[in-house]
Structure 1
Amino acid sequence: MIQYYLTATPVASIIFALTIGLSIYVFSKPELYGKWMLHPYTVYRDKSRWYLMLTSGLIHKDWMHLIFNMITFYYFGFGLEQIFVEISGPMGHLLFALLYIVSLILSDIPTVIQQKNNYHYHSLGASGAISAVLFSYILFNPKMMLGIFMIIPMPAYIFAFVYLAYCIWASKNSNDGINHDAHLFGALTGLVFTIIAHPWVIKHFIGQF
């Protein structure tokens, strides 16, 4: 089974293993949070620390945070890489890697700009890139069933609108400590990247209805 994943979806396999491994490692070495978390105040003033937008996406706050993100990635990340490969051949692996890396960075840029003067603000987790993966997958399978909080079932295209609306509302009104901007801009990055890479996906999406 492991050999199959490494052969069929090597990029997703590496991301999955690396994120779980580094997150668990940091759980036991909390001093590394300060070195790897996104700190907009620092990134804005020292552009050489841009790498924090990547490292912060490879670590998580706690087990629940990690498990939720990795379950979502497992269900959609591996499948999305396979879709890309079916469409583009071996180049699909590279496209999937680019989607993930680009979405990690772009989903954090609005946060860096918004929180650039807030010294006490930190952020971590792969949620921006996970949102990109999910929304890219939805473009190919808009009528699959998803569930809010894994409980309330609805078609993926409706889930997408509900998700985006909630992210927009929460980014302005919520004080729950979650970086909703990263979720929003990650999802949008996933949509835009996929449309640029495969413009025909718009017609495919519409044709599903």
Structure 2
Amino acid sequence: MTLIIIVVTVIISFLAWQNPRLLDTLILRPPAVWRGEFWRVLSHGFIHADGNHLLFNMITLFFFGTVMENILFERIGAVGFALFYLAGIVVASIPDLLRRRRDSDYASLGASGAVAGMLFAYILLDPWAMLLVFFVPVPAVIFAALFVAYSLWAERHSRSNLNHGAHLWGAAWGVVFMVALEPALLPRFFSKVLGTG
């Protein structure tokens, strides 16, 4: 299922790069959503700004999505896994839909929120796993803390085009989904982090 999501995302991103009208039809524009173009809440997760944006998201999705797929399939199946991913796109866009509902200049695209959801679902399961961050090994729980701290700071101060709020909401979705599926995960996570379990 992860590979299917990646292939579909790559194809739609490439088509959108070739066709600006398609890109404009799929991108998240909150005022357009409030006027009834509801597909944008989901479709913006299948288009990307450029090759680097697409490559980073899809590589991250490949590594963590395939692991989470193996873990979740037994509980929720292929359709449930796909819905978990798609819901990450939607949940990550909700703050912008509410806060920027009248901002006609605002647009957002990319799967970062859903990918962050997949990554944080994994971190909840294995907080001391070593993640390669720009080829430097970092414990997953340390990466998570730095990721959240930086995203909170960048949401207020960064002038880049990255949607840091979507990253945060997507990450939160991954944790909430996993805890709802298995409430014992949260105390187990803290036990692992503190070294008591």
**How does 1:22-171 map onto structure 2 within 5 Å?**
22-44=12-34, 46=35, 48-86=36-74, 88=75, 91-148=76-133, 150-171=134-155
**2:138 match: secondary structure:** strand
**Percent identity over paired residues:** 37
1:124-146 Cα distance to aligned partner (Å, 9 max, x none)? 00000000000001111111112
Letter of the 2:30 counterpart: P
8 Å CA contact 1:147, 1:159 repeated in 2: no
1:175-209 Cα distance to aligned partner (Å, 9 max, x none)? 10111111010000111011101112123323422
Deviation beyond 3 Å, 4+ runs, structure 1: none
* CA distance in structure 1 between the partners assigned to 2:52 and 2:80 by the alignment: 29
Letter of the 1:159 counterpart: F
- Alignment match of 1:204 (pick from 185, 188, 192): 188
Question: Unmatched 5+ residue regions in structure 1?
Answer: 1-10
State TM-score, norm by structure 2.
0.92
1:76-116 Cα distance to aligned partner (Å, 9 max, x none)? 01110101124x2xx33233222111111110010111222
Give the stretch that moved more between structures: 60-69 or 95-104. 95-104
1:1-59 Cα distance to aligned partner (Å, 9 max, x none)? xxxxxxxxxx2122111001111111211221110000012113x1x312101110001
What is the CA RMSD across the aligned residues, in angstroms? 1.4
* CA distance in structure 1 between the partners assigned to 2:184 and 2:47 by the alignment: 35
8 Å CA contact 2:3, 2:62 repeated in 1: no
8 Å CA contact 1:131, 1:187 repeated in 2: yes
Question: Unmatched 5+ residue regions in structure 2?
Answer: none
Count, aligned residues? 193
When residues 132 and 198 of structure 1 are mapped into structure 2, their CA distance, relative to the original with a 3 A threshold, is same
8 Å CA contact 1:56, 1:125 repeated in 2: yes
Q: Which residue of 2 aligns with 1:6?
A: none
**1:146 match: secondary structure:** strand
**1:49 match: secondary structure:** coil
